[in-house]
Amino acid sequence: MKKIEAIIKPFKLDDVRESLSELGINGMTVTDVRGFGRQKGHTELYRGAEYAIDFLPKVKIEIVVSDEMVEDCIDTIVEVAQTGKIGDGKIFVYDVLRAVRIRTLEENEDALV
């Protein structure tokens, strides 16, 4: 099993969720996050004063999938979330050693369905 974390632009969330659902991904965790990379933030003018926005709003999607689903999920996220502009985001993949569904005590891939 693998955990996929994708950090994307917020306005792409619904499209990514729908596309992953079509692949059979029926659960995910979504967190509003802020950060910067090459995008570096920007300055804004508010009531005549200029101030720096160092951290930009992003969305982090977390899913755990079987090893066989990893490449399809990554390809789908990239295809749907990509705008071609700086700040499109990143995808990270981690090994998952164990998963347990608390209600039924199902484990590993049985706990993912």
Using an 8 Å Cβ cutoff, are 89 and 58 in contact? yes
Element (H, E) at 11: none
Report the topology of domain 2-111. Alpha-Beta Plaits (3.30.70)
Taking the complete model, does pTM exceed 0.75, yes or no? yes
Give the relative orientation of helices 70-81 and 13-23 as an angle to the nearest 10 degrees: 150
Per-residue tens of pLDDT for the chain, all 113 residues:
999 999 999 999 999 999 999 999 989 999 999 887 776 666 666 677 766 667 788 999 999 999 999 999 999 999 999 999 888 999 999 999 999 999 999 999 999 88
